[in-house]
Amino acid sequence: MIRDVTLGRFLEGDGVLYKLDPRTKLMGLLLYIVSLFVFKTWLGFTLTLVFFLVLRKLSKISFRYMLKGLKPVFFIILFATILNVILGQSDWTKTLFTLWRMIGAVFASNLLTLTTRPREISDGLEKGLSFLSIIHFPVHELATIISLAFRFIPILTEEAGRVIDAQKSRGSKIGEGKIVDKAKSIMPIIIPLFISAFRRSDELALAMDSRLYGSGKRSVWKKMEYSKIDIYGYMVSVLMLALMIIDRCVL
């Protein structure tokens, strides 16, 4: 199951979403998530759902692959939904809306990472947050950390898979038994994974030092440029949010 994690993975493709500038996609994601938490009626629910389905179609990523992305957060969503019901949310419509808000946010985030290379996301963030450098916020460092974190997701999930296989081959019953047993069996995976991650990060830091990272002013090889399609991207995202505000305030 660990190898099925799609979060943070980039998938080669040629859908329309791939052609958008990362800044447009980041802003679009932000506005979409806000829209998800703004709508109040069935109309808003339907619009956000249709909007997501259209985006999915434009990305040309299979719905089955998107569903895989829900696996790691399935229990969190389930837990939140149960809490919602227990804490007096007797209105099933609202529970369904809450459920969709969480699933929609995960789906939309997945769409971003599946159609955008980690480096593009970090470059987009760096550019988008560049105004923070006025207050000496380390924007570039933050963007690099995010980019590296994304890059190492597939490597560490592979490694987790190997650790699980190794522990299973030594008789460990990972993922078997009751929930408490399942939780306990995670420890023999987590510890070696952490040790490995620390070793990797140490070597990565040395390699980056060797390649003169942080030794002076950096230049950027690939310049980000908006195209016509980005204007449509911004317009649609803003329109979606505007409609959701109307949905909340007027309807």
Which residues lie near other proteins (CB under 8 A)?
A: 10, 12, 117-120, 147-148, 151, 154-155, 200, 203-204, 206-223
- Minimum distance from residue 12 beta carbon to other proteins (Å): 8
Name the token pair of 202. 């140490």
Least distance (Å) between residue 11 CB and other proteins: 10
CB 42, min distance to other proteins, A? 41
Pick 168 or 200: Cβ nearer other proteins: 200
Residue whose token pair is 């109040």: 40
Residue written as token pair 């229990």: 75
CB of 164 closer than 8 Å to CB of 189: yes
Nearer to other proteins, 46 or 201 (CB): 201
Least spacing, CB of residue 153 vs other proteins, in Å: 11
Residue with smaller CB distance to other proteins, 125 or 244: 125
Distance of CA 134 to the CA centre of its chain: 28
**Phi, then psi, of 154 in degrees rounded to 5:** -65, -35
Q: Which residue has the tokens 């060797």?
A: 210
Give the C-alpha separation, 61 to 85, whole Å.
Answer: 33
Provide the residue type at 16 as one letter.
V
Q: Which residue's CB is nearer to other proteins, number 190 or number 205? A: 205
Rounded alpha-carbon distances, angstroms, from residue 26 to 21, 115, 138: 9, 11, 19
Q: Give the nearer residue to other proteins in terms of CB position, either 123 or 247.
A: 123
Q: What share of the chain is helix, strand, coil (3-state, %, to 5)?
A: 75, 0, 25
- For other proteins, the closer of residues 159 and 247 by Cβ is 159
The minimum distance between CB 208 and other proteins, in angstroms, equals: 7
What is the nearest approach in angstroms of other proteins to the Cβ of residue 8?
12
